[in-house]
Structure 1
Amino acid sequence: MDIELVLDAHAIIAESPTWVAEENAVYWIDVKAPALHRLDLATRVDREWRLASDVGAFALIAGRHEALVALRHGLFRLDLATGALVLEVPPPFDPARHRFNEGACDSTGRFWVGTMFDPMPDVECNPERSGMSSFTLSGGLRPEPDAAELHNGMAWSRDEATFYLSHSQQQAVFAFPYDRVHGSLGSRRAFVTIPAELGLPDGAAVDAAGGYWCALHGSGRLHRYRPDGTLDREIMLPVSQPTMCAFVGADLDMMMVTTASDKLSPRQLAEQPHAGGLFCFRPSVRGIPRHYQLK
């Protein structure tokens, strides 16, 4: 497998690669910098918008030159021309203990966003779960029936009848029946359990054949699972902490992988000089478009 280093970003935690076809660009975040980025694939020029606190997810706002960024202290509108931030809604959790983590839009423009137990440095408390939410401009923030210490792996099947979500700390990926019209989840079922030695199930993507691609944080690999949950392929990466994968390019025939350098030892950083970079390869299968516009 020919894996190309597209951007040697040295990000702390690069996440959420999002292909925007009309711009030939990939938007992505560095959670702990914190910042939103836009990488032009033709020129390899990377633009950065610095943010006020940890960023866990984002969506672009349809019809406006703005993004919604899920920061530790709430959902904010980011003006992409000026960089100004305006609070849209406060967080539904104690930001001293939790932050937003992982988000994705469905085809109707509803933004789903999970949470992570990630206490501030001066806060001591036991791990605890927090809820998932959805958000629309007209309806605001709505609590959803799922709670975890760490939400990840959000993706939909091609027909949008199935929603995938991982509880990373429990090594589990779940599948939910999804009602696109009402934006509601049915009863979840176990989809995949990841052995602990293979790392945490992190960000994900779905291909045109229904395969679920999962970044395994800590073991330097991607797994592709068939729709029945059986393992189909394993791709080894040159760094140990992949965070998310996404299909990019005009034909959605390339896969981009964001990675992290966070918490690596000096020895590990020396062995992985491109940790925190953005990588790309051709997986021999095309993806489905990932929706990114909030409405």
Structure 2
Amino acid sequence: MTIETVLDCQATIGESATWVADEHALYWIDVKAPALHRYCPDNEATRSWPMTSDIGGFALTGDGRAVVALRQGLFRLDLDSGALDPLAPPPFDPGLFRFNEGACDANGRFWIGVMFDPLKGCPPAQQGRLHSFTFDQGLRDEPDEAELHNGMAWSGDGKTFFLSHSNTGEIIAFDYEGNSGAISNRRVFATVPAELGIPDGAAIDTEGGYWSALHGGGKLRRFRPDGSVDRDIDLPVSQPTMPAFAGEDLATLYVTSASDQMRADAKAREPQAGGLFRFDAGCRGILRHFLVC
């Protein structure tokens, strides 16, 4: 398998890769050098939208705008002008938490996790609440708490919602009711041993395989629909953060990565840490959805 370096961008925490078929473009974020980025593989053109604080996720709306989840709250971003308009204040103490991970369901509801990430000192770790957002209902608390949410994805039929609790190494599955957005029947889908890193961002293929980036383990791991391990794919960086299916047939996997908190000797061993990579997945993925206006 050939793993290609697409962008040697040295991202601090590259995340949330999302393919937009109509634009033939990949959007992604850098959490800590806060910006939304766009990459077009046809001509290798790039564009960036700087943010005013840590960005933990985003959702495109398909009308030239996006909703971005910043430490300061939710904002509507005009992709033409770069203007930010507030939508909702942060539902947490922004000195202790920030948003982390976001994805839309098939009905256009934006789900947003959190991360305990204090700006000062080392206070005892706390859990933050999962949220969802629609323009009609605003920001809504959801029945799940974790120190670090990640790995959001839905099964092909939309009836199962996956979510990682990264700090405990658990990938959780819920029954999902699409019209209401209700989650229920919580169970552990799979676990990742601590020595292999933590389960970070994820993607689903058309065969029901769940692809998880093992942050700190330098791998993508594909889980079968029953939660058993199918295979591992070694990557040239130790901190992959999220895979995303892309391309005309959704058979190319792009992978974001991080260089955050790496020592100088580790960076010397991984000069492409924080880069964007891609390879032929050997299967097809499921396209991510827009936020419904």
Q: TM-score, normalised by structure 2?
A: 0.99
Of 221, 232, 239 in structure 2, the residue corresponding to residue 223 of structure 1 is: 221
The whole-number CA distance in structure 1 between the counterparts of 2:220 and 2:40 is 24
1:18-65 CA distance string (max 9 Å, x none): 000111100000000100001011111211100000000000124x21
Amino acid at match of 1:145: P
Amino acid at match of 1:65: G
The whole-number CA distance in structure 2 between the counterparts of 1:288 and 1:89 is 30
The whole-number CA distance in structure 2 between the counterparts of 1:163 and 1:117 is 22
Amino acid at match of 2:83: A
Q: Residue 189 in 1 paired to residue 192 in 2?
A: no
The whole-number CA distance in structure 1 between the counterparts of 2:69 and 2:167 is 21
State the partner residue of 1:83.
Answer: 82
The whole-number CA distance in structure 2 between the counterparts of 1:93 and 1:150 is 14
Amino acid at match of 1:237: L
Q: Across the two proteins, how many residue pairs are aligned to each other?
A: 293
- Residues 157, 206 of structure 1: 8 Å contact kept: yes
Matches within 5 A, 1:244-263: 244-263=242-261
- Residues 12, 30 of structure 1: 8 Å contact kept: yes
Q: Residue 284 in 1 paired to residue 271 in 2?
A: no
The whole-number CA distance in structure 2 between the counterparts of 1:169 and 1:251 is 34
The whole-number CA distance in structure 2 between the counterparts of 1:51 and 1:58 is 12
SS in 2 for 1:144: strand
The whole-number CA distance in structure 1 between the counterparts of 2:291 and 2:277 is 24
Q: Residue 293 in 1 paired to residue 266 in 2?
A: no
Amino acid at match of 2:20: V
Matches within 5 A, 1:145-224: 145-224=143-222
Matches within 5 A, 1:1-295: 1-62=1-62, 64-120=63-119, 122-295=120-293
1:242-264 CA distance string (max 9 Å, x none): 00001000100100000001111
TM-fit CA distance, 1:66: 1.0
The whole-number CA distance in structure 2 between the counterparts of 1:292 and 1:218 is 30
1:128-175 CA distance string (max 9 Å, x none): 001001000111011000000000000000000000001000110010
The whole-number CA distance in structure 1 between the counterparts of 2:130 and 2:44 is 34
SS in 1 for 2:108: coil
The whole-number CA distance in structure 2 between the counterparts of 1:257 and 1:178 is 27
SS in 2 for 1:188: strand
- Residues 7, 44 of structure 1: 8 Å contact kept: no
The whole-number CA distance in structure 1 between the counterparts of 2:126 and 2:111 is 20
SS in 2 for 1:187: strand
SS in 1 for 2:38: strand
Amino acid at match of 1:157: S
- Residues 18, 292 of structure 1: 8 Å contact kept: no
Aligned-CA RMSD value: 0.8
Q: Which moved more, 1:261-270 or 1:202-211?
A: 261-270
SS in 1 for 2:185: coil
SS in 1 for 2:22: helix
TM-fit CA distance, 1:187: 2.0
TM-fit CA distance, 1:123: 4.0
- Residues 247, 254 of structure 1: 8 Å contact kept: yes
The whole-number CA distance in structure 2 between the counterparts of 1:105 and 1:233 is 27
Q: Could you tell me the percent identity over the aligned residues?
A: 57
The whole-number CA distance in structure 1 between the counterparts of 2:232 and 2:290 is 27
The whole-number CA distance in structure 2 between the counterparts of 1:252 and 1:65 is 23
- Residues 258, 278 of structure 1: 8 Å contact kept: yes
TM-fit CA distance, 1:290: 1.4
The whole-number CA distance in structure 2 between the counterparts of 1:29 and 1:156 is 21
Pair 1:294–1:54, CA change in 2 (3 A): farther
1:252-287 CA distance string (max 9 Å, x none): 010000000111111111111111010000111111
The whole-number CA distance in structure 1 between the counterparts of 2:171 and 2:87 is 30
